[in-house]
A and B are shown apart, each in its own frame.
Chain A
Amino acid sequence: MTTRSPALLVLEDGRTFRGESYGARGETFGEAVFATGMTGYQETLTDPSYHKQVVVQTAPHIGNTGVNDDDPESGRIWVSGYVVRDPARRASSWRSRRGLEEELEAQGVVGICEVDTRALTRHLRERGAMRVGVSTTETDPQALLRRVLDSPPMHGADLAGDVSTSAAYVVPAQGQRRFRVAALDLGIKTMTPRRMAERGIEVHVLPASSTIDDVLAVEPDGLFYSNGPGDPETADGPVRVLQQALERRLPYFGICFGNQVFGRALGFGTYKLDYGHRGINQPVQDRVTGKVEVTAHNHGFAVDAPLDRPTGTPYGRAEVSHVCLNDDVVEGLTLTGDDGSLRGFSVQYHPEAAAGPHDAAYLFDRFVALLKQAQRGDRDGS
């Protein structure tokens, strides 16, 4: 078993927690956020949306099922730091290949354990997400605090480029190919193209910096924007590309960051939530059917759109389709044409789950229906 050394956690408002080292030794900075899922730490760690964030796990036992090679949501761990209470001393799962601590060390992720994670979470809930430093080398909280205050804030951070693929790649459709979709990788998770591929979609994953020409070059039936880290205010490139696609009536589906970019493309603003939604138990209501889905969330920003009325846009009629029942945050948008037909939609949460419940998986079917309708429209039109 690893011998631990003392570790220090300092928030930008000066609140300090002492614990023990977990994973790699060293020092790390980021935005402190808490995630409330009781399962799925492996997916959380590898979710690119957590780039530049220090994740506090509210579930006390972390690492119980070890690490396997099937569950990561990307090629590496993205969190910039990891805060847990009771790390597992040994893993137990028939799928486990190695221990989580081993993996954190191997990937150089600095963590801290034996922390009162509930106290830390309550602090973040009351004061909002903020910058944090975690160190196994520094013992003086004041010194660490100075470096925390020097670290870059999340507000205004443009991070999509950091996490996006550098070269385009294709995820082939499972079975017969029915559609081709261009998917802009703003921090895409492995499960997302897989969910599309299962439905006969050939997914062309493109770098975040792609232009409308790059998109059109794959001759897509539709356009998809993924989740991803950072402030949507900075995503001017992707917003412009999306607007160009909407002008061309390319069917659109967006998830998470893709919802925020959709909002901006339609003319809405975005804003930073105090402490965000990060968990796999969030109740979201479909405002048309009234049905409630239990959904996976990971977002610190949200779209500022009116709940009580539709909004006219150059691309059609925009409406808030889903809201979070906990706090009425906008969780989904739809864009319809004059005839009421769907042109594009997006959700702030994660229908691909991983980790999380599968309640919202139907949204991929809705995307397929949208693609089919557009295909038929094209045929009818030509």
Chain B
Amino acid sequence: MTMLPKSPPGAKKLGLVIDLDTCVGCHACAVSCKEWNTKGEAGLLPDYDKYGAEPDGVWFNRIHSYESGAGDGCRTVNLPRSCLHCEDALCVTVCPTGASYKRAEDGIVLVDADKCIGCKLCSWACPYGAREFDEDAGVMRKCTLCIDRIYDKDLPQAEREPACVATCPSRARHFGDLADPQSKVSQLVKKRGGVDLLGELGYRPTNKYLPPRKATIPTAPREAPTGAASGIGGALLKLLDRALSR
């Protein structure tokens, strides 16, 4: 049993805002994440059977594309899925060793590999399937929100964002402090009606998803002209009669 921290006043809640209106499901975020993290702070992200029958490996971020709804309301959804850095993170409280923990200062949920005994309780507890087990090292792995980028003072300020956000080609991913109502991400959530994933489960995820929208162009309804008249008709004739100047 591991305790969730008491956040000090003014503590940040760092997280992602993912725009489902814009995500094209290209997997750029997932691969960039793997690339950055495979030799980063979190250590090697293993790959199994790289060129064989069942290629698989550890990913902190996976993309699911599926159809949702029926009839005219049916749409294709691309859903990127990674750790949501929940406020009530059951993956933390079930951890018997304290390996799975949530940081008080910014809300990021991490795994301390030195304390992890590989019992997998946390991955069973996570309803989002956001944790992946490293078969090679025998420890649990997960999204770190790229703590080795976002706090790296050697990087220019603009680059201190998670790899998945930096690389997203349709700019569907946003990073920031969701505790600050004035932050860009909080404003986006407010403006666009951002939602919790499986909010009814009560884990209070920090990450938010922005729902798809539908832009429309109102026009007066137009019917086919009556009769099957061929040739240049009234409206065009009127236009062509107008004097022009080349």
Q: Do A and B bind each other?
A: no
Residue numbers of A with Cβ under 8 A of B are none
Using a CB–CB cutoff of 8 Å, the interface residues on chain B facing chain A are none
